């Protein structure tokens, strides 16, 4: 059975640009200085780190999700 890869998605319509994900996990998230919305700058290369999971959970509007990338 093949393992599925995961992808992190930021819903930019929902994102309020609070920057919490970027502060918690700056290796994965960055604030787009044009739109003031979070964006993913590095997708996971295997398991999603606890730091990234914490950053996702910290989003006050639930704009970040993990999806299967198959």
**Which range of residues forms the domain containing residue 42?**
6-68
Q: Assign residue 62 the CATH number of its domain.
A: 3.30.70.20
Q: Within a domain: residue 12?
A: yes
Q: Within a domain: residue 40?
A: yes
Q: Within a domain: residue 1?
A: no
Q: Within a domain: residue 43?
A: yes
Q: Encode the chain (70 residues) as per-residue pLDDT tens digits.
A: 456 789 999 999 999 999 999 999 999 999 999 999 999 999 999 899 999 999 999 999 999 999 998 7
Burial letters 14-33, b for 16+ CB under 10 A, else e: ebeebebbbebbeebbbbee
Q: Within a domain: residue 56?
A: yes
Instruction: Give the global pTM.
Output: 0.89
Q: Give pLDDT, residue 1.
A: 45
9/58 Cα distance (integer angstroms): 15
Instruction: Report the number of distinct structural domains present in the chain.
Output: 1
């Amino acid at each position: 059975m093949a393992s599925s890869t995961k992808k992190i998605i930021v819903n930019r319509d929902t994102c309020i640009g609070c920057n919490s994900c970027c502060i918690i996990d700056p290796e994965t998230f960055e604030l787009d200085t044009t739109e003031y919305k979070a964006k993913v700058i590095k997708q996971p290369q295997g398991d999603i780190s606890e730091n990234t999971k914490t950053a996702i959970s910290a989003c006050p509007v639930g704009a970040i999700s993990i999806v299967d990338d198959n």
